[in-house]
Amino acid sequence: MTDFYQLASERHSCRTYEEKTVEKEKILKCLEAARMAPSGCNSQPWRFVVVTNPETLQKLSKLTQLCGVNRFTEHAPVLITVCEEEEPRLLPKIQEMFGSHVYAHGDLGISTADLTLEAANQGLGCCIIGVYDEDKVKELLDIPKGQKLRMMIALGYPKEQKMPRKIRKPMEEIARFVE
Ligand SMILES: Cc1cc2nc3c(=O)[nH]c(=O)nc-3n(C[C@H](O)[C@H](O)[C@H](O)COP(=O)(O)O)c2cc1C
C-alpha cells in the first residue's frame, strides 16, 4: 500500500498538462475512489459528468475563465463537473432536524478529495476549479436544473516536473490538543 501521508503531501494542484489522452480506465479508477467516499447517512449526493470530447472541452473550459482566470483549463484533456443531487436522501429524522444540504457540501468535498488523491496515486495531475458560469455549464452538459454545480476538476498528465512548495498554516494555528 502507498504511504498515505506521502500521497497526501505530494498531491498538488496541476495547471499544465501533456497533450496526451488519459486512459478511460484511469478516469474510472478516480471516479471509483470518489464513489467509495463516506457521506451523511450514506446519501452519496455527488454526481459527476466527465468531458473528454475536444469540442465540448473547448466550450466548457471557456466557461471556467471568468474575469480572466483559469486559462490553463484550455489544455486540460479531461474536465469533470461535481454536482450536488437535488434532494440528498438522509434518514427522515436527520433531514427534519438538520436539513440535508448541511451534510452534502462536506460529502462532495470528501468525494472530490478522494478523486484527486487517486489521480495523484496514478501519476495524474489535477486541479479543483471553483470559478465557472454555473447556468451555462449546466446547459452545455444537460445537467438537471435541480442539481447544484459545486466544483469542477481539470485532469491530465502533468507537464511540470518540479513540485511547488506547500504553503500551509502552521499546526499550532489549525489544531490543538485538549488534555
Ligand atoms: C473549492 C476549491 C476551488 C478552487 N478553485 C480554483 C480555481 O478556480 N482555479 C485554480 O487555479 N485553482 C483552484 N483551486 C486550487 C487551490 O488554489 C489550491 O488547492 C490551493 O492553492 C492549495 O494548493 P495545492 O492544491 O497545490 O496544495 C481550488 C481549490 C478548491 C479546494
Which of 13, 17, 133, 155 to probe ligand 1 with, by most ligand atoms within 8 A of CB? 13
Residue 160, C-alpha cell as written in the block:
511540470
CA 148–ligand 1 middle distance (angstroms): 19
DSSP the chain: ---HHHHHHH--B---B-S-PPPHHHHHHHHHHHHT---GGG---EEEEEE--HHHHHHHHHTT-GGG--GGGGG-SEEEEEEE-SS----HHHHHHH-THHHHHHHHHHHHHHHHHHHHHTT-EEEEE----HHHHHHHHT--TTSEEEEEEEEE-B---SPPPP----HHHH-----
CA 92–ligand 1 middle distance (angstroms): 35
Q: What is the pLDDT of residue 91?
A: 82
Q: Which CATH superfamily is domain 13-160 in?
A: NADH Oxidase (3.40.109.10)
Q: Ligand 1 — pocket residues by CB below 6 A?
A: 12-13, 15, 70, 127-131, 151
Q: What is the pLDDT of residue 163?
A: 77
Q: What is the pLDDT of residue 76?
A: 98
Mean pLDDT in runs of 10 for the chain (179 residues)?
87 96 98 97 96 98 96 98 88 80 93 98 97 98 97 95 85 97
Which of 11, 69, 111, 128 to probe ligand 1 with, by most ligand atoms within 8 A of CB? 128
Q: What is the pLDDT of residue 1?
A: 56
Domain residue limits, the chain: 13-160
* Atom 29 in ligand 1: residue holding the nearest Cα: 128
CA 115–ligand 1 middle distance (angstroms): 14
